[in-house]
Structure 1
Amino acid sequence: MRISIPAVVLAAAALSASIEPAPAAAAAPAITWSIEREARRDDQVQLTLRARWGSRHHNSNWSSGVALSELSGLDPRRLAAPAATPVRFALLREAGRIDCTGTAARRAGRGSCGFTPDAGFAADLARRGVGRPNADRLFALAMSNVGRGHLDALAAARLPKPSLEQLTALGIHGATPGYIRAIAAAYPRLRGLDAENLVAFRIHGVTPELLRAYASLNERALAADDVTAMAIHGVTPAFIAELSKLGYRRIPASDLVQMRIFGVTPAFIRSVHARRGALPSASELVQARLFGDRGRAR
């Protein structure tokens, strides 16, 4: 299963973004910001930035839960003032800095921002063979909070260099350098792992624990797409651990997926095992779920 990276939209997660491509020589954007109260946490707010790059047909919208500590220069007392109060803050990222001013009251506010791209970061990306981002792509990289650490983690794991779009998507979907390192270390024989797979892993909730659990059943090379399929269909570390306790070894990922799709549970396996007297194979268990277990107890 492959993910189409250019459509970088994260639903029901910490960061959502909508990006439309800009001309190669984009003018400085008009950026507006708004902050809303985060109901569940006093040390965090919901920050939304909307950037317009000189054309009504090119806009980018970003919304994220942001810790107050990330908003450099923001006075929390001004943010919580009972009446409209001038505020200023900056988001400092490797791709550039975003300086914002406006007014706020009762932990909500709005205003405008300016973006200063980091030319050194752009040059470093070009030097590393990722590409030379223009201003709007640097803004996207800044908002997705990716940097050299992502590239270092990919290189350390000997994974392919990402495109600029893929690098942005890694940040949007929360594939941090630590996550990249942990995934690579959990199953060194993972085939086809790249930035697109890492994004898919984050979207579908793949954890290093899932990979380590699979390694306890099967030491063969494993395709990254099969890992995504396992996560989609609910193959969990706990499910794999139960199979291991029952005596299963060397079960391919495709069989685990089939077992979950057709509702093969540890309890069902034990019942079939008890009636047949032999540990049933994955295909036999699926057949038993589909057509009923006609095996006879010995």
Structure 2
Amino acid sequence: MIVVRPEPAAAKERTAQAAKPSGTAAAKTQTNKNKDQQTASDDLNKKQSYLDAMEAAGFKNLTVDELIAMKIQGVTPEYVREIHELGFEPTPDELVGMRVQGITSEYVREMRAFDSHLNIDELIGMKVQGVTPEYIREFHDLGLQPSADDLIALKVQGVTPGYVKEMRATGLKPNTDELIGMKVQGITPEYVKSIEAAGFRDLDCDELIGAKVQGITPEFIEKARKHGFQNLTLDKLMALKHANIL
């Protein structure tokens, strides 16, 4: 039979004392804890605020509204520096507009490869309307050199490189303004061919635009001829239409 004898009280006390950290060890542990907290605090203090970062990027004296708008739209100091490196000095509002429209430094470089004098308003306008480097390149391949405003107008009116080719196939040689005017008035290759079939050949772009604006159709031309009018010119037809004679 095994007998378990109770441990003497003195032995228990020695064991408990051994389990406790010494005063030196406890102090060292607390010191290390304090150092860790101080390091974390120092790192937090060293972290640059958005305001400080924007000032370092060149924007001083920003208003509260400007700071909030820029922060909300994701205008970062890095983005500002990228745009500055491209030679632009945008205002806070322009930066917000550029960021909202998704204008990247890469987009700027690609667009300026076609026109090195593009300004921020033109870049924003083209991006809004979906003018891409590919769109510009297709017009250049057709021998056209539209300006930024022309490109925006072409895109807004839905003038495509395909439309240019179709109109050229009729024998016309429209420039950028004429292409925009014809598209606005709904002039199609079919309309050009129908007017030619009615006896009016070799009309230029401006004459075709004028005829379409005045509502000159093959049917109207035929109606005028049935009334016995002879030697009808386009100007006479437009005058008849304008005066509402027929």
TM-score range, shorter chain: 0.5 to 0.7
TM-score of the pair, normalised by structure 2: 0.56
| Cα pair 1:209 1:237 within 8 Å, conserved | no
Deviations 1:218-269 (A, max 9, x none): 45462x3333333333334443354466575543222122112111124334
Q: Which has the higher helix share?
A: 2
Structure number having the greater strand percentage: 1
How far, CA to CA, are the matches of 1:197 and 1:152 in structure 2?
18
Q: CA deviation at 1:149?
A: 4.1
- Could you say what secondary structure the match of 1:234 adopts? coil
Does residue 140 in structure 1 map to residue 92 in structure 2?
no
Structure 1 partner of 2:121: 165
Whole-angstrom distance in 1 between the partners of 2:141 and 2:227: 41
Q: Partner of 1:103 in structure 2?
A: none
The residue that corresponds to 2:110 in the other structure is: 152
Please report the RMSD computed on the Cα atoms of aligned residues, expressed in angstroms: 4.0
Matches within 5 A, 1:92-241: 114-117=74-77, 118-119=79-80, 121-126=82-87, 131-147=88-104, 148-149=106-107, 152-153=110-111, 155-156=113-114, 159=115, 161-186=117-142, 188-189=143-144, 193-220=146-173, 222=175, 224-241=176-193
What TM-score, normalized by structure 1, do the two folds share? 0.48
Cα 1:184–1:277 change in 2 (3 A) is farther
Tell me the secondary structure at the aligned position of residue 132 of structure 1.
coil
Query: Structure 1, residues 135-183: CA drift from partner, whole Å, max 9, x if none?
Result: 5423322222334446535644xx5631111111111122222322233
Contact 2:129 2:152 in 1 (8 A): yes
Query: Looking at both structures, which has the greater relative contact order when contacts are Cα pairs under 8 Å and sequence separation is at least 6?
Result: 1
Q: Unaligned 5+ residue runs, structure 1?
A: 1-23, 31-51, 60-97, 100-111
Larger Cα Rg: Structure 1 or Structure 2?
2
The 1:257/1:171 distance shift into structure 2, 3 A limit, reads same
CA distance 1:282–1:236, shift in 2 (3 Å): same
The code of the aligned residue for 1:125 comes to: L
Please report how far the alpha carbon of residue 203 of structure 1 lies from its aligned counterpart in structure 2 after TM superposition: 2.9
Query: Cα distance 1:141–1:248, how it changes in 2: closer, same or farther (>3 A)?
Result: farther
CA distance in 2, matches of 1:206, 1:293: 35
Q: Does 1:53 align with 2:66?
A: yes
Percent of residue pairs identical: 19
2: CA distance between counterparts of 1:182 and 1:154?
16
> Could you say if the C-alpha distance between residues 292 and 183 of structure 1 is closer, same or farther in structure 2, counting changes exceeding 3 Å?
same
Q: CA deviation at 1:197?
A: 1.4
